[in-house]
Amino acid sequence: MLNHTQSDRLALEANKVIVGGVNSPSRSFKGVGGGNPVTMDHGDGAYLYDVDGNRYIDYLAAYGPIITGFNHPHIVKAIKHAADTGVLFGTPTEHEVTFAKMLTEAIPSMDKVRFTNSGTEAVMTTVRVARAYTERELIVKFTGQYHGHFDLVLVEAGSGPATLGTTDSGGITKGTSKEVITVPYNDVESYKAVMEKWGDQVAAVLVEPIVGNFGMVAPKPGFLEAVNEITHEYGALVIYDEVITNFRFHYGAAQDMLGVVPDLTAFGKSIGGGLPIGAYGGPTRIMDTVAPLGPAYQAGTMAGNPLSMQAGIACLEVLQEPGIYERMADFAVQLKEALLEAGEKYDIPTVVNQIGGSLTVYFSEHPIEDYADAENTDTERFGKFFKAMLDEGINLAPSKYEAWFLTIMHTQEDIDETKCAIDRAFSKLV
């Protein structure tokens, strides 16, 4: 057992002054059988070090953003430059233009972009823009997909709330709940039925094209194409939430890899080099609905701040390095194979969904294709696995609904060490 004396002491202190001891509920250990989350001290490359001096190989990647590792020198240099030259002006800067050009060049569905401070803000604004553009009110979303923490999308909202055993948040009005219709992911017939009934009132459908919030789940062949076709038939817009998937599988958005084109896209996480960021964009005809050109208001004192912009630019520069996505995917395949082998060796039903450099392990006898499948996996066994891995010095998300993310800093030695840890962790599950 690792020594967590200082970590536990700080958890006790944290619980007195921070609600639940955490600043985001998914960081608590409620979904893995309880206990104190580990208090980390610093990160270096692919490793985290806790306040007791334990080292962990990290696959949480801060829930996605840390794709280049914790302290990539190119990003550190950009952050230092911003610190030296001013982190916030409240005026336009050249960095915003540079970064906007990089994004619009990498993602063809987007002529124009706006920066926000978080993924939540980005998705929230795409919804407002879609409503202003279509002059309609209803939104359709898919069960278990998480789109941030604004009221409308906390209905049946996947990983965070699901880990805590709730599907909806308190404090959301009945009126708001009535503005959103949820249907199962990967189920064209259900979506078609909803659109037949409500389609002429629907402003937009909100979709994680590849799901990251009930683990990594790929769209079935033809699903996204059918959603696009049906949505447009009714004059509504398709919004992709690519907050997790942007720059995760290749240099660009998942939409290009999948060959599908949304009307609006929300971005976040990996584009910021670890700093607070979000962005949204689309074609000029829709984006010009945004103030000051159009009626849809969106603003932000910190939006497009020089610090996040420079870190984001540096991060995208790093992500252009040849071969990095292939290496992350190769490592993820190796981990998938190790998990499946361990499942067989110890006779533990195990499913792994792996897409590029990301994967989710489920303790289940059945494939995971929608939220109900993910919900029906073995929560208790996942909790034990999570804790056994932590004890082996492997840091994962404390929830069966989350993903492991590879970073460009992981090495073959890290993967080999993780494979041994997987075997030992599985041996404790029988």
Q: Which run of H or E residues covers position 7? A: helix 5-17
> Toward ligand PLP, which CB reaches closer, 153 or 421?
153
CA distance 199 to 211: 24
> Toward ligand PLP, which CB reaches closer, 209 or 306?
209
- Select the residue interacting with ligand PLP from 70, 99, 146, 363 (CB under 6 A): 146
Interface segment toward ligand PLP; rule CB under 6 A; list 52-60, 207-215, 315-323, 414-422: 207-215
Interface segment toward ligand PLP; rule CB under 6 A; list 74-82, 208-216, 335-343, 407-415: 208-216
**Residue 269 a catalytic site member:** yes
Give the residue carrying structure tokens 């980005």: 122
> Toward ligand PLP, which CB reaches closer, 268 or 357?
268
Task: Sheet containing 202-207: give its strands across.
Answer: 112-116, 278-282, 264-268, 237-241, 202-207, 138-142, 180-183
Interface segment toward ligand PLP; rule CB under 6 A; list 125-133, 145-153, 191-199, 370-378: 145-153
Contact code string over 355-374 relative to ligand PLP, x by CB under 6 A:
--------------------
> Toward ligand PLP, which CB reaches closer, 5 or 23?
23
CA distance 429 to 188: 37
Give the residue carrying structure tokens 């709330």: 161
Residues 6+ apart with CB under 8 A from 138: 179, 180, 181, 198, 201, 202, 203
Residues paired with 205 in a beta bridge: 140, 238
Read off φ and ψ for residue 57, nearest 5 degrees.
Answer: -80, 125
> Toward ligand PLP, which CB reaches closer, 63 or 115?
63
Which one of the listed residues 47, 133, 146, 325 is annotated catalytic? 146
> Toward ligand PLP, which CB reaches closer, 4 or 147?
147
The answer to whether residue 289 forms part of the interface with ligand PLP (CB under 6 A) is no
> Toward ligand PLP, which CB reaches closer, 256 or 330?
256
Residue 34: C-alpha distances to residues 19, 37, 321, 353 (Å)? 16, 9, 40, 25
Residue 107 neighbours by CB distance under 10 Å: 21
Distance in Å, CB of 10 to ligand PLP, minimum: 23
Residues 6+ apart with CB under 8 A from 52: 2, 3, 4, 5, 6, 7
Residue 417 neighbours by CB distance under 10 Å: 15
- Select the residue interacting with ligand PLP from 161, 209, 268, 281 (CB under 6 A): 268
- Select the residue interacting with ligand PLP from 58, 96, 208, 392 (CB under 6 A): 208
Residues 6+ apart with CB under 8 A from 207: 141, 142, 145, 185, 224, 227, 238, 239, 240, 241, 262
The answer to whether residue 212 forms part of the interface with ligand PLP (CB under 6 A) is yes
Which one of the listed residues 56, 63, 191, 269 is annotated catalytic? 269
Contact code string over 110-139 relative to ligand PLP, x by CB under 6 A:
--------xxx--x----------------
The answer to whether residue 148 forms part of the interface with ligand PLP (CB under 6 A) is yes
Distance in Å, CB of 270 to ligand PLP, minimum: 11
Which one of the listed residues 56, 133, 185, 241 is annotated catalytic? 241
Spell out the long-range contacts of 378-382 with Cβ–Cβ below 8 A and sequence spacing 24 or more. 379/31, 380/33, 381/348, 381/429, 382/32
Q: Which parts of this chain interact with ligand PLP (CB under 6 A)?
A: 63, 118-120, 123, 146-148, 208, 212-213, 241, 243-244, 268, 278
Catalytic residues: 146, 241, 269
